[in-house]
């Protein structure tokens, strides 16, 4: 008997354009609506059509937010998918494939001949094969197809009742086949829906970031498309009419950030989104934001570099880029959300702190995070109040007036009687350029002083396990949260606690005490351990071990469980 | 700004351009509280330091993107982007092209002295071929950038050239450019008295002429012919095309400035409902 308890990993693999995403969307939505914990993540090649892509859908009894290497059921839409994923196919993997598509021998008990095309044609058209596939998956899991029928009605209503009906037929054929295979192969899935996800929102990282930006009152985005940063630009463009957001596709990233700074100077909450390569071009803008004290939010969707690197893959290797971006010395804030709900909140915090402290606020994500899908409860969607910190100026207004905390009241042109002079040169309080060394000294100090206040407002890391009794602490940040949380939970190492940082800079001074006396290890999806180095720089922490991965893939739960054995 | 410690050399053409601009603004009835001058880097880019108006003095080459952000975030503001030939046509060349394509309602004033002054005398994109400099030791070899022809090729709706030697006419051209609705390009000849010994006040006087009264500025082909003329260089309004939609209108931007932006709670809830 094939017995699956509380955790099933289903992978859909095929070429770009074959419907992998459509199938995964259907499966995830139906399972979510039935109250199951689901999580999906996607890997794909840098192609428009063709290549070999896959989406992993996990159905679990516990809430899980990580990638597993293991595949229980593989739906291969072409033979290449089997080659592409061969390292993940083991003795226990069942492969659902149309054997007629295979050139090599399909004489293998693990291969289940799955006539997707035949059922699709029977239902009406070859294009319905995605619907058949969802039906088969639901049949295997034993999830009644009723809510899938409803979903199909929503999806295809605009195309007419006949299309809806044909899809329902395709779904029914697939479902029946799935049940039949479950019976024949003696497949038993023990997985109760936990409930609570039915009314949840089904978001991916892009949507979470976008919802955060809308909630923050972002009114201006200028960006140049670059994977995986483009999703946020697209999201806000889609919502621009509903929320009066100005969207400008810039001629290059340099224009993008300079336009954002102009917009912010004039009173907009302005955002740019890009990836590491595009951000390299934006660096001068970060420096300009620094000297002019102009708020701006920068989203860097990380992917592996250097240069073009692996355009559609994932990595956490641009922390140093954000941390040290821009010539000169000035403040900044860096967030790295680890959950979708954290992303919604982090973007709002980024806008708030950027304006409150007149600085650049970064939000670091990555391809794995942006393309991962999970339910988020409505109650988890945090709304922060929108406070603008913009003053109405009087005739004697001085943009860079010296104040106790280094933050000058921020005026914008056209609001009040004052004149607002923002200057990229070193400047005096009124914003006129100066080469007075005394003023220069005070301005440098003014621009850096806010770092202390920023640190005291910094988010503390989230803890997994009992940190007081633990001898060792494994530190992670950003998208590595889910894999560490799960590996600690299933690895059974109660002597290890996990810490997840969703804010990387500045660090709260109390972090030092949390690490004091512990063996500190880090888990980072990069080759060198950039956050480990930051911890050492900030708190003189001795880092005992670094669990690193820079292949372009996210960490799998299995490899982190193994790595934790060495901690 | 009286009493300001000016950053320009004695005799610099920038002073004359500043005078023309400062006369033009009140004659147009522009309230300084409603005017933003965005500039890049260089001696020309210091101009807004000496004008009573809002200023965003950004980075080299980046005046136009910053001006875009300002205009799209508060379209009630009068926006002027002002810098030199190196900033606008060299470092900012790509932005210049795409700014014209957008046609947002700003005025672009380019101080064109055909040399790099602040970096001490190297060739600029508009330097004449053959001009020797400390870097172009055998003389400039590259064909000069023709800002008017490029603007016309991209159908910029207002294209003009002035010369600071004639303050009155320069002022009038600036006034027309600011009053024009759309992307208005004004290239303004001005001597660099320190580093450009070729294109002097006298040279500009002897090598320019005004387009005649009967010249029709709505004829783009003729404007292109004038912009590419060799020998004596024409001054005046080369091209003027009314009615081209500005980017702000195409984007549907309202008069509400971005600092008053609010989030519709109803739309927000509706958006979330879409993710069930």
Which of B53, B73, B264 is closest, CB to CB, to A268?
Answer: B73
Residues A324 and A355 in one domain: yes
Contact criterion met (CB below 8 Å) for A215 and A348: yes
Contact criterion met (CB below 8 Å) for A564 and A493: yes
The Cα A390–Cα A356 span in angstroms is: 9
Read off the DSSP letter of residue A105: -
Identify the band that residue B4 occupies on the pLDDT scale cut at 50, 70 and 90.
low
**Would B220 be classed as within a structural domain?**
yes
Q: Which residue has the tokens 């055909």?
A: B114
The Cα A69–Cα A555 span in angstroms is: 9
User: Residue A324: which residues within 8 A CB-CB, separation 6 or more?
Assistant: none
Q: Which residue has the tokens 């609010």?
A: B262
The Cα B225–Cα B238 span in angstroms is: 10
Read off the DSSP letter of residue B186: E
**Would A353 be classed as within a structural domain?**
yes
Q: What is the total count of domains within chain A?
A: 4
The Cα A67–Cα A472 span in angstroms is: 24
The Cα A298–Cα A292 span in angstroms is: 16
The Cα A358–Cα A254 span in angstroms is: 20
Q: Which residue of A has its CA nearest to B255?
A: A244
Q: Which residue has the tokens 């109660």?
A: A494
pLDDT digits (tens, 9 = 90+) for B139-164: 999 999 999 999 999 999 999 999 99
Work out whether strand B107-112 and strand B78-84 pair parallel, antiparallel, or are unpaired. parallel
Contact criterion met (CB below 8 Å) for A59 and A19: no
B138 touches A: beta carbon within 8 Å: no
Identify the band that residue B5 occupies on the pLDDT scale cut at 50, 70 and 90.
confident
User: What pLDDT, on the 0 to 100 scale, is given for residue B229?
Assistant: 96
Q: Which residue of A has its CA nearest to B100?
A: A251
User: What pLDDT, on the 0 to 100 scale, is given for residue B264?
Assistant: 97
User: What pLDDT, on the 0 to 100 scale, is given for residue A564?
Assistant: 97
Q: Which two tokens stand for residue B47?
A: 């101009």
Residues A163 and A63 in one domain: yes
- Domain region containing B71: 13-273
For residue A185, the domain's CATH number is 3.40.920.10
Residue A82, Cα to own-chain centre: how many angstroms?
27
Taking only residues 119 to 158 of chain A, the set having a beta carbon closer than 8 angstroms to any beta carbon of chain B reads none
pLDDT digits (tens, 9 = 90+) for A160-191: 999 999 999 999 999 999 999 999 999 999 99
**Would B8 be classed as within a structural domain?**
no
B268 touches A: beta carbon within 8 Å: yes
Residues A79 and A190 in one domain: yes
pLDDT above 60 for A273: yes
Query: Residue by residue, what is the 3-state secondary structure of A334-373?
Result: EECCCCHHHHHHHHHHHHHHHHHCCCEEEEEEEHHHHCCE
User: Residue A216: which residues within 8 A CB-CB, separation 6 or more?
Assistant: A269, A347, A348, A350, A351, A352, A384, A386
pLDDT above 70 for A32: yes
**Would B3 be classed as within a structural domain?**
no
Percent of the residues in chain B that have a pLDDT greater than 70, as a whole number: 99
Q: Which two tokens stand for residue B102?
A: 């957008």
- Interface with chain B: mutation pick from A414, A416, A430, highest number of B CBs within 10 Å: A414
Give the H or E element holding residue A187: strand A187-190
Residues A186 and A209 in one domain: no
Separation of first and last alpha carbons in chain A: 36
**Would B7 be classed as within a structural domain?**
no
pLDDT digits (tens, 9 = 90+) for A55-82: 999 999 999 999 999 999 999 999 999 9
Read off the DSSP letter of residue B162: E
Which of A243, A270, A431 is closest, CB to CB, to B69?
Answer: A270
Identify the band that residue B1 occupies on the pLDDT scale cut at 50, 70 and 90.
very low
For residue B129, the domain's CATH number is 3.40.50.970
* Phi/psi at B38 (5° precision): -105, 135
Residues A447 and A472 in one domain: no
Q: Which two tokens stand for residue A456?
A: 């005291």
pLDDT above 80 for B3: no
Taking only residues 54 to 73 of chain B, the set having a beta carbon closer than 8 angstroms to any beta carbon of chain A reads 54-59, 61-62, 64-70, 72-73
- Torsion of the alpha carbons at B200, B201, B207 and B213, rounded to the nearest 10: 150
Strand-by-strand arrangement of the B184-189 sheet: A421-423, B54-57, B35-39, B78-84, B107-112, B184-189, B158-163, B233-240, B208-210
Cβ contact (<8 Å) for B54 and A201?
no
Residues A171 and A39 in one domain: yes
**Would A44 be classed as within a structural domain?**
yes
Strand-by-strand arrangement of the A37-43 sheet: A111-113, A94-97, A73-76, A7-16, A50-60, A37-43, A373-376, A201-204
What residues of B are in contact with residue A202 (Cβ under 8 Å)? 275-276
pLDDT digits (tens, 9 = 90+) for A493-524: 889 999 999 999 999 999 999 999 999 999 99
What residues of A are in contact with residue B267 (Cβ under 8 Å)? 242-243
The Cα A479–Cα A300 span in angstroms is: 13
- Which residues pair with residue A274 across a beta bridge? A300
Strand-by-strand arrangement of the A462-464 sheet: A462-464, A496-501, A472-477, A519-524, A543-548
**Would B167 be classed as within a structural domain?**
yes
pLDDT digits (tens, 9 = 90+) for A400-450: 999 999 999 999 999 999 999 999 999 999 999 999 999 999 999 999 999
Taking alpha carbons only, the member of B79, B67, B70, B93 closest to residue B30 is B79
For residue A503, the domain's CATH number is 3.40.50.920
Domain boundary residue among A345, A380, A415? A380
Q: Is the pTM of this model over 0.95?
A: yes
B208 touches A: beta carbon within 8 Å: no
User: What pLDDT, on the 0 to 100 scale, is given for residue B271?
Assistant: 98
User: Residue A503: which residues within 8 A CB-CB, separation 6 or more?
Assistant: A333, A334, A335, A336, A346, A458, A459
Residues A9 and A152 in one domain: yes
The whole-chain average pLDDT of chain A stands at 97
Residues A532 and A554 in one domain: yes
Q: Which residue has the tokens 């915090």?
A: A349
Burial class of residue A93 (count of CB atoms within 10 Å of its CB; 0-12, 13-18, 19+): middle
- Domain region containing A405: 390-456
pLDDT above 60 for B2: no
Apex A551 CA angle, A549 and A557, nearest 5:
50
The Cα A249–Cα B22 span in angstroms is: 35
Residues A69 and A42 in one domain: yes
**Would A385 be classed as within a structural domain?**
no
Average pLDDT over residues A22-32: 96
The Cα A264–Cα A142 span in angstroms is: 53
Read off the DSSP letter of residue A158: G
* Phi/psi at A183 (5° precision): -65, -50
Residues A402 and A371 in one domain: no
Contact criterion met (CB below 8 Å) for A296 and A257: yes
Q: Is A565 helix (H, G, I), strand (E, B) or coil?
A: coil
Domain boundary residue among A199, A227, A244? A199
**Would B1 be classed as within a structural domain?**
no
CA atoms within 13 A on the CB side of B201: 11
Q: Which residue has the tokens 């503390």?
A: A460
For residue A373, the domain's CATH number is 3.40.50.970
The Cα A319–Cα A340 span in angstroms is: 19
pLDDT digits (tens, 9 = 90+) for A455-508: 999 999 999 999 999 999 999 999 999 999 999 999 988 899 999 999 999 999
**Would B265 be classed as within a structural domain?**
yes
B2 touches A: beta carbon within 8 Å: no
Residues A352 and A405 in one domain: no
Average pLDDT over residues A248-270: 98
Domain boundary residue among A174, A199, A224? A199
Residues A501 and A420 in one domain: no
pLDDT above 70 for B85: yes
The Cα B66–Cα B59 span in angstroms is: 9
Contact criterion met (CB below 8 Å) for B274 and A211: no
Reported ipTM: the value is 0.98
Read off the DSSP letter of residue A508: P
Burial class of residue A305 (count of CB atoms within 10 Å of its CB; 0-12, 13-18, 19+): middle
The Cα B35–Cα B79 span in angstroms is: 6
The Cα A467–Cα A561 span in angstroms is: 18
- Interface with chain A: mutation pick from B1, B39, B40, B62, highest number of A CBs within 10 Å: B62
**Would A545 be classed as within a structural domain?**
yes
pLDDT above 70 for B256: yes
User: What pLDDT, on the 0 to 100 scale, is given for residue A104?
Assistant: 86
pLDDT digits (tens, 9 = 90+) for A324-378: 999 999 999 999 999 999 999 999 999 999 999 999 999 999 999 999 999 999 9
Taking alpha carbons only, the member of A318, A331, A333, A352 closest to residue A212 is A352
Which of B94, B259, B272 is closest, CB to CB, to A252?
Answer: B94
User: What pLDDT, on the 0 to 100 scale, is given for residue A90?
Assistant: 96
Q: What is the total count of domains within chain B?
A: 1
């Amino acid at each position: 008997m094939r017995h699956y308890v509380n955790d099933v990993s289903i992978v859909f693999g095929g070429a770009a354009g074959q419907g992998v995403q459509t199938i995964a969307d259907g499966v995830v939505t139906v399972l979510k609506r039935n109250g199951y914990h689901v999580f999906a993540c996607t890997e794909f090649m840098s192609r428009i059509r063709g290549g070999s892509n896959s989406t992993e859908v996990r159905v679990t009894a516990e809430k899980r937010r990580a990638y597993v290497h293991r595949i229980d059921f593989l739906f291969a839409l072409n033979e290449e998918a089997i080659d592409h994923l061969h390292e993940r196919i083991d003795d226990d993997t069942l492969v659902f494939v149309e054997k007629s598509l295979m050139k090599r021998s399909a004489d293998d008990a693990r291969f289940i001949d799955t006539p997707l095309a035949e059922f699709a044609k029977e239902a009406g058209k070859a294009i319905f094969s995605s619907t058949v596939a969802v039906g088969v998956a639901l049949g295997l899991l034993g999830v009644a197809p009723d809510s899938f029928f409803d979903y199909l009605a929503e999806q295809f209503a605009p195309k007419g009742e006949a299309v809806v009906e044909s899809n329902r037929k395709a779904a029914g054929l697939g479902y029946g086949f799935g049940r039949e295979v479950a019976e024949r192969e003696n497949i038993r899935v023990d997985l109760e829906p936990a409930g609570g996800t039915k009314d949840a929102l089904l978001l991916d990282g892009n949507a979470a970031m976008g919802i955060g930006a809308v909630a923050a009152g972002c009114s201006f985005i200028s960006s140049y498309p670059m994977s995986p940063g483009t999703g946020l630009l697209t999201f806000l463009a889609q919502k621009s009419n509903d929320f009066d957001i100005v969207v400008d596709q810039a001629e290059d990233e340099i224009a993008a950030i300079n336009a954002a700074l102009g917009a912010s100077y004039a009173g907009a909450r302005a955002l740019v989104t890009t990836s590491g390569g595009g951000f390299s071009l934006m660096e001068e803008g970060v420096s300009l934001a620094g000297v002019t004290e102009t708020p701006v939010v920068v989203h860097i969707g990380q992917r592996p570099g250097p240069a073009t690197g692996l355009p559609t893959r994932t990595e956490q290797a641009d922390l140093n880029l954000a941390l040290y971006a821009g010539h000169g010395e000035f403040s900044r804030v860096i967030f790295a959300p680890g959950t979708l709900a954290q992303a919604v909140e982090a973007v709002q915090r980024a806008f708030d702190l950027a304006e409150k402290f007149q600085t650049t606020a970064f939000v670091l994500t990555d391809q794995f995070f942006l393309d991962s899908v999970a339910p988020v409860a409505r109650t988890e969607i945090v709304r922060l109040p929108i406070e603008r910190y913009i003053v109405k100026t009087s005739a004697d207004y001085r943009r860079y007036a010296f104040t106790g905390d280094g933050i000058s009241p921020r005026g914008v042109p056209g609001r009040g009687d004052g004149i607002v002079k923002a200057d990229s040169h070193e400047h005096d309080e009124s914003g006129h350029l100066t080469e007075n060394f005394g003023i220069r000294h005070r301005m440098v100090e003014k621009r850096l002083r806010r770092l202390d206040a920023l640190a005291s407002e910094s988010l503390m890391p989230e803890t997994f396990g009992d940190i007081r009794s633990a001898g060792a602490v494994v530190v992670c940040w950003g998208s590595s949260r889910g894999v560490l949380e799960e590996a600690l939970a299933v690895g059974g190492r109660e002597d290890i606690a996990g810490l997840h940082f969703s804010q990387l800079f500045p660090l709260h001074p109390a972090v030092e005490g949390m690490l004091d006396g512990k063996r500190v290890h880090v888990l980072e999806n990069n080759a060198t351990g950039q956050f480990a180095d930051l911890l050492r720089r900030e708190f003189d922490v001795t880092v005992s071990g670094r669990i690193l991965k820079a292949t372009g893939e996210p960490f799998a739960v299995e490899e982190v469980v193994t790595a934790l054995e060495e901690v | 700004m009286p009493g300001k410690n000016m950053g320009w050399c004695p005799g610099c053409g920038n002073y004359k351009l500043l005078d023309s601009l400062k006369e033009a603004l009140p004659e147009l009835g522009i309230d300084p509280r409603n005017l933003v001058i965005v500039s890049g880097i260089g001696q020309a880019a210091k101009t807004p330091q000496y004008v009573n108006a809002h200023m965003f003095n950004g980075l080299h080459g980046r005046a136009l993107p910053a001006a875009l952000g300002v205009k799209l975030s508060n379209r009630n503001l009068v926006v002027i982007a002002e810098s030199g030939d190196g900033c606008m046509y060299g470092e900012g060349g790509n932005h210049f092209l795409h700014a014209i394509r957008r046609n947002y309602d700003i005025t672009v004033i380019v101080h064109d002295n055909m040399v790099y002054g602040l970096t001490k005398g190297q060739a600029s994109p508009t330097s004449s071929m053959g001009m020797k400099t400390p870097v172009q030791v055998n003389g400039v070899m590259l064909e000069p950038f023709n800002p008017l022809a490029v603007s016309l090729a991209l159908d910029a709706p207002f294209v003009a050239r002035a010369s600071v030697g004639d303050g009155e006419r320069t002022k009038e051209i600036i006034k027309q450019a600011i009053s024009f609705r759309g992307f208005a390009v004004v290239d303004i000849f001005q001597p660099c008295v320190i580093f450009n010994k070729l294109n002097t006040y006298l040279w500009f006087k002897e090598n320019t002429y005004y387009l005649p009264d009967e010249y029709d500025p709505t004829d783009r082909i003729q404007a292109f012919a004038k912009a590419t003329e060799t020998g004596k260089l024409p001054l005046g309004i080369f091209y003027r095309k009314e009615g081209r939609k500005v980017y702000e209108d195409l984007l549907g931007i309202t008069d509400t400035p971005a600092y008053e932006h609010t989030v519709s709670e109803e739309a927000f809830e509706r958006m979330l409902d879409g993710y069930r």
